[in-house]
Structure 1
Amino acid sequence: MLGAAVLCLSHQALAKEYIIKFNGDTKAHAAFLENLNATPLLKNMYLIDIPDTEAASMQVYNLANSPEIEYVENNKNLSIFPMNIDAAKAAVAELVSDSPEFVAPADNPPIPNPPKRPEIGRDPLLQHQWGMRDNQIQKAWKQGGSMGDPNVVVAVIDTGVDYTHEDLVYNMWRNPNEIPDNNIDDDGNGFVDDIVGWDFVSDDNLPYDLSMNPFQLIFQGGNAGHGTHCAGNIAARAYNGKGITGVAPHVKIMAMRFLSETGQGTTAAAIQAIKYAVDNGAHILSNSWGSQGDDPNDPNTQALKEAIQYAQDHNVLFVAAAGNGRQGAGYDNDSDSKPAYPASYDHGAIISVAALDENDSLGKFSNWGKNTVDIGAPGVKIYSTVPQGKYADTVFDKFGITVNWDGTSMATPFVSGAAALYLSANPSANWLEIKNAILNSSTPIPALSNKSVSGGKLNVLNLMR
């Protein structure tokens, strides 16, 4: 079975890349791993790059059938969940292809020093955040006596974060044991100058949220600033006279980039991002990504499950998007033959999040599941931070094509922020206590009756009582 997994790549697999897990000590295989440029992922787990030769493939085949090997699986693709873009887009392609508006932004600006103190003033764009009104967020801060503890860290595992954004820069996590720009791994964690996080796509210390230009986004798909949008609703700074607020506006954001500007990533990069975040002090992992369908009996799913278990074993909560269905229509993660993952995995530390609109209706794209989806949260036309210091609830609105910031990806950060806010007020709470508090304080709504574990929507005011 394992040998077949090696030789028969699925359409989702990256040719020649595999994740291999040894049953025990790997010292005897050191030369083999070195020859294959093996990258360590978790204990006894490696990403290997197989040369395109019959001999190398046979060597891996033989290892896969060895009692020394627990499993070998394809390094599968993962992605941000697709937005619902109008199919009648090709008609305007010629009109916009040469427009100067459609220029991709620059990548990897330097990491700025944090301001010594944030400015003070009302958030002028808070009025656009219906999700914050729905959760009575300002009353919740007063009720719970906290706007977030700066020692609480939420890792946004995504396309990166615009760490220069005016509403995020003060709340970016700063590695306390790393000296910026000295080209030395001061803390000995294996990453040089990792000040705000790490980029596992480019393998550098600048996890910037590189987005596609709008033309490419609409006609090819990709990233519109996905990670930055998620970060804003978790922890955009409140009362700083700028922009918006996050649910927990005093906690810190750790930027983990494993999805590229095309919105694509790999299982191995996701594992690396999860492990880095856990090892470097993140308390909550916000995960607005996954697959559009996974066979739960597929043996090529063990590695990512182990990474989530690694987080759970270290008392780290894993908040995940329930998925955006297929062709714009949501489905039941309980009964579908290929439910969205990782949200549908059975780890206790996962909170799976569906998307709701302003009328408490389930987004037409949103997945659900009485046993596999835990709660709903705002996820339709969501206003937040986007790269280059901007704010938006609309990705694109030209030539008769309108694409809003909709998705279970947008709902997930609300729950991640709520978890961070609760932990700030209850610093001894473990992942199970945080999860139970969120689900037990939800407000029942008809749209999620028999369609989620809680049967309700996020209620931050109730949570903080």
Structure 2
Amino acid sequence: MTFPTSPRHLFRVLLLTVCFSLGLALAVFRPTPTLAQTDTADLFYRFNGEPIPLMVRDDAIAVAFQASATRTLDAPPLYQQLQNTLDSTRTRGDAVIVQPVGTQYAIVNLPAATSSSRSALRPQLALPYVETTLPVLQRADQDEQILLPNEIIISFAAQTSEAEQQQMLEAQGLELIRPLRFTENRVLARLKTVDHETAVLTAAEQLSQTTGVRSATPNFIPVRSPEERWDSELPLPSHSSLARSASDNRMNLAWHLDSTSMAPRLNNTGVNAPRDWALGNRGEGITVAVIDALIQWDHPALINNIYELPSGVEGLPEEYRGWDFTDNDPDTRVETAELNQLRPSFQDTFTLSDSDVLDRYRVWADDLKRNNPRASEAEIIAFIRNNIRRQVVGAFHGTTVAGVIGANAPEPSGLMGVAPGVKILPVRAGILFGGIPTVPAVEAIGYAAARGADVINLSWGSMMPTTAIADAIADVLAANPNLIIVASSGNDGENRVGFPAGLRHVISVGASTLQGTRAPYSSFGPGLTLVAPGGNVQTGLENGILTTSGTGNDLFWQNISLPEQPWAPAQDLKGDYVWAQGTSFASPAVAGVVALMLSADPQRSLNRDRLIALLESSSSHTSLSLAPQEQDLYSVLRDQSATPPTEHELQYFFGSGLVDAEAAVRLVQSGA
């Protein structure tokens, strides 16, 4: 998930925000992985039968808060309470930084990265509102943080009775937590007795070797994906590269739909959606599920296109417009506890004077100055303000994704999505400040299929691959032959497509720019299906993707005045619309095109394979070009026989090419 910042964007914005807001003068935390040196050689989990090595990080320990420890809007969030408690018992030089992960977890990042320092901290974490501590892991070849709760997703073989399932659990010392919803023969279980912090990995491996068990996957909770790293390079665009105002015609700025108004001298590098709309097709009758983070379905450009549970369909309790599998409730919008975490630092960026920003965020400012000695004080202040705002906007990733697919603003000059006639099914699976945990991902995929989604969009980037999620996708595709799943290729900028985009029968989408080049962060190579606009805000905000967001919520602006002009990355005063970049926004563009194709085939005469074939054959390399360094890289890989022998360089970096909505729909209408 990437928003307007450098390609290696902000991992530690929130960590430092917590530190600075408490007035701590700490050494700057750098996310250099420090790994436990004992008992790690045998740590692994399996993905499709293959072992994936894991390591315990010595520089962090996680906590799970008591579920009953609910908070009001005015109470400090639990992670901040923990920060205050730890600060009161530790010296300044031995201080820690508490990083929230959703509302129920937090990571305590340690300055002295040793296993003994983690052990010494544990007694201080025995607090009334802390349920337990958890290890923080990473894959051996990745810089990441992964929480490991005492939970395993077990997929039993078909026809395994509940009694047989219970016997298997008992034999392995497990107890049932609950069956997973919207899926068959899958349960969530936990160890009755945990004798060491990674015991759940051992239990999962033992289960995977048990007759009658299809797979056993720990319920990993990813905190940050590989592309979400701290970077202190200046300058970043702190304002628009073009004169703009909140009253601009947003359709003229939406180059990802048709770029000719923004770049009249270039070939169209948008998806050519308006020319398809001229054919009388806007995606009517099609439902696209967005499985993602917070989705503000009451956004004025989304609310008229939101799926509603049909009468006569038995839904979940109080289900009406989608479901939140993170908080297990019927509302995918921001809630009180989450707003309580997002609002304070966001408001700081508008209410604090320049001197107060430097004072409160002094450690960060000093770090920026060290890395950018030629930067002015004004540049550093703007950098701090803008990156906090981007972090808050990033929490509404699902809202931004939904807007690319199906925004339908009521005003004549308002923003449209690629398929403004579709219905958006909002499904939340992501956690605040984290990624997509395994359990909500599995249930959300099954739910979207059960609610009749024609297309599922997964803007998940390069997430941790798990058999549980891969099997859930395979199961819904097998049960629904016409269902289409579209996923982002990832923002690692590497020659490998991320998970789950690389799975069979999933459309994998990379990102292109206004100029028709590969976005520098966009992953490519074998498994890439095609590309769509993802933007590149490093060359100016308007080179990003204009879409919907969630800071227009009045509670964000409670007790403060609206700014006098749009703020980065917002296009309007409240942030109802923002500029974004990433394969996360290329994927929904293709999901929207697929919706247009399906709408043009009301009899569903095209099966999945045929529709994907038409999608690929209608795309083109005409408007695309490679940078010299990409040509050099391809030559090296070709010489090393590391590229497919029949694939030319444009295919390697762009798949079948840039998606074209009009051409794809015309192929469908022609009966090709």
1:318 to 485, 489, 501: 485
Match of 1:282, as an amino acid? Answer: A
Distance (whole Å) between structure 2 residues aligned to residue 292 and residue 356 of structure 1: 21
User: Corresponding residue for 1:233?
Assistant: 404
Map of 2:511 onto structure 1: 355
Q: How does 1:77-226 map to 2 (within 5 A)?
A: 77-78=221-222, 87-88=231-232, 124-133=249-258, 134-143=270-279, 145-149=280-284, 151-177=285-311, 187-189=313-315, 191-208=316-333, 212-213=342-343, 214=346, 218=387, 223-226=394-397
* Aligned counterpart in structure 2 of residue 303 of structure 1, from 453, 468, 473: 468
Unaligned runs of 5+ in 2: 1-41, 56-136, 138-145, 236-246, 259-269, 350-384, 536-543, 554-565, 572-577, 627-648, 667-672
CA distance in 2, matches of 1:81, 1:140: 36
Deviates more, 1:34-43 or 1:134-143: 34-43
| Alignment correspondent of 1:456 | 657
Relative to the length of structure 1, the TM-score reads 0.76
Whole-angstrom CA distance in 1 between matches of 2:426 and 2:297 = 8
Cα deviation, 1:106-139, whole Å, max 9, x if unaligned, reads xxxxxxxxxxxxxxxx993111111111233222
The question of whether the paired residues in 2 share the 8 Å contact of 1:79 and 1:289 is answered with: no
Structure 1 residues 84 and 302 mapped into 2: Cα distance closer, same or farther (>3 Å)? closer
Aligned to 1:400: none
1:446 aligns with 2:580: no
Relative to structure 1, the CA distance from residue 217 to residue 48 in structure 2 (aligned partners, 3 Å threshold; closer, same or farther) is farther
Label 1:168 to 1:389 Cα distance change in 2 as closer, same or farther (>3 A).
Answer: farther
CA distance change for structure 1 residues 456 and 61 in 2, over 3 Å: closer, same or farther?
closer
Describe the SS at the equivalent of 2:456.
strand
Question: What amino acid does structure 2 have at the position aligned with 1:446?
Answer: S
**Closer/same/farther in 2, CA of residues 233 and 59 from structure 1, 3 Å limit:** closer
Within a 5 Å distance, the mapping from 1:355-394 to structure 2 comes to 355-369=511-525, 371-380=526-535, 381-389=544-552, 394=568
- The separation in 1 between residues aligned to 2:426 and 2:453, in whole angstroms, is 11
Question: CA separation in 1, counterparts of 2:484 and 2:453?
Answer: 9
Shift in alpha-carbon separation, 1:61–1:87, aligned structure 2, 3 A = closer
Partner of 2:651, secondary structure, is coil
- Asked if 1:395 is matched to 2:552, the reply is no
- How many Å separate the matches in 2 of 1:394 and 1:239? 24
Letter of the aligned partner of 1:152 in structure 2? I
Please say which of residues 281-290 and 28-37 is displaced more in the overlay.
28-37
Q: Residue 188 of structure 2 corresponds to which residue in structure 1?
A: 47
RMSD over equivalenced CA pairs, Å: 3.6
Quick check: 1:19–1:74 contact (8 Å CA) kept in 2? yes
Aligned AA (1:407)? G
Inter-partner Cα distance in structure 1 for 2:475 and 2:189: 21
Q: Secondary structure at the match of 1:274?
A: helix
Q: Which amino acid aligns with 2:306?
A: M
Q: Does structure 1 retain, via aligned residues, the 8 Å contact 2:458–2:488?
A: yes
Deviation string, structure 1 residues 24-44 (Cα, Å, up to 9, x no partner): 413223475894313325221
Greater shift, 196-205 or 305-314, is seen at 305-314
**Partner of residue 341, structure 1:** 499
Q: Offset of 1:457 from its aligned partner?
A: 0.6
Aligned to 1:274: 445
Partner SS, residue 662 of structure 2:
helix
1:261 aligned to 2:419?
no
Superposition deviation, residue 411 in structure 1: 0.6
Displacement after TM superposition at 1:282 (Å)? 0.5
Residue identity (%): 27
In 2: Cα distance, 1:266 partner to 1:307 partner: 14
Shift of 1:293: 6.1
Alignment correspondent of 1:26: 161
1:415 aligns with 2:540: no
| CA distance in 2 between partners of 1:80 and 1:221 (Å) | 13
The offset of 1:148, in angstroms, is 1.5
Q: What amino acid is the match of 2:178? A: A
CA shift, 1:217, in A, is 9.3
Whichever residue aligns with residue 37 of structure 1, its letter is I
Which residue of structure 1 aligns with residue 218 of structure 2?
A: 74
| Conserved? CA contact 1:393–1:404, under 8 Å | no
The SS at the match of 1:457 is coil
Q: 2:10 is matched with which residue?
A: none
Q: Give per-residue Cα distances to partners, 1:137-159, cap 9 Å, x unaligned.
A: 2221123x31121x310001101
When residues 332 and 148 of structure 1 are mapped into structure 2, their CA distance, relative to the original with a 3 A threshold, is same
The aligned residue for residue 115 of structure 1 is none
2:599 counterpart SS class: helix
Alpha-carbon distance change, 148 to 61 in structure 1, aligned in 2, over 3 angstroms: closer
1:76 deviates by 2.5
What are the ranges of 5 or more consecutive residues in structure 1 without an aligned counterpart?
Answer: 92-121, 179-186, 295-300, 334-338, 398-402
Q: Does 1:424 align with 2:605?
A: no
Distance 1:454 1:160, change over 3 A: same
Matches of 2:400 and 2:611, distance apart in 1 = 24
Once the two structures are superposed, residues 179-200 of structure 1 have per-residue CA deviations (whole angstroms, 9 ceiling, x without a partner) of xxxxxxxx334x1121110001
Do the aligned partners of 2:463 and 2:500 also contact (CA within 8 Å) in 1?
no
Query: Alpha carbons of 1:266 and 1:17: their partners in 2 closer, same or farther (altered >3 Å)?
Result: same
Aligned AA (1:460): A
CA distance in 1 between counterparts of 2:662 and 2:453 reads: 24
> What is the rounded CA distance, in whole Å, between the counterparts of 1:312 and 1:79 in structure 2?
28
Q: Between Structure 1 and Structure 2, how many residues are aligned? A: 400
The aligned amino acid for 2:614 is: A
Alpha-carbon contact 1:159-1:263 (below 8 Å) kept: no
1:123·1:239 contact (CA, 8 Å) conserved in 2? no
The structure having more radius of gyration, on CA atoms, is 2
Task: Evaluate the alpha carbon distance shift between residue 78 and residue 451 of structure 1 in structure 2; reply closer, same or farther with a 3 A threshold.
Answer: farther
Deviation readout 1:226-284 (Å, 9 max, x if unpaired): 11111111111166436300111011000010002214221121111110000011010
**Shift in CA distance, 136/281, structure 1 to aligned 2, threshold 3 Å:** same
- Considering fraction of residues, name the structure with more helix: 2
Q: What are the superposed Cα offsets for residues 8-28 of structure 1, whole Å, 9 maximum, x if unpaired?
A: 976235231211122241322
* Amino acid paired to 2:254: Q
